[in-house]
Amino acid sequence: MTELYRAEDSRLRRVVTFKLLEAEQIGNPEARALLEHEARLLARLDHPNIVAFHDLGRLGDEPCLTLGPVGHHGLGGWLAAKSRRDSE
């Protein structure tokens, strides 16, 4: 349902992770609600074995969680998949 992407926060000069909906879930209100619910839960947690939660924002029209660094794929893949979906 979601995918993780490595990104660089250029203002703070740190590596972060974007957690985004898979291309097939973009525009799905239930998937959006689940991702936003996950953000609210993560915001309440603070433990060394749980990835740090930084922010719930938007990438285009889609919700985007910004987390501490974890395993990654490039963000370009997500943007390309979204572009393909938008053109269908």
Lowest mean pLDDT among 12-21, 37-46, 67-76: 67-76
* CATH architecture for the domain at 2-87: 2-Layer Sandwich (3.30)
34: left (phi over 0), alpha (psi -120 to 50) or beta: alpha
Kindly give, in sequence order, each residue whose CB lies less than 8 Å from that of residue 50, ignoring residues fewer than 6 positions away. Answer: 42
* % of the chain residues with pLDDT over 70: 83
Domain ranges of the chain: 2-87
Instruction: pLDDT band for 50, please (50, 70, 90 cuts).
Output: confident
Express as a percent the part of the chain with pLDDT over 90.
Answer: 52
Identify the DSSP state of 75: H
Distance CA 88, CA 83 (A): 9
Question: pLDDT tens-digit profile of 8-40?
Answer: 989 989 999 999 999 899 999 999 999 999 999
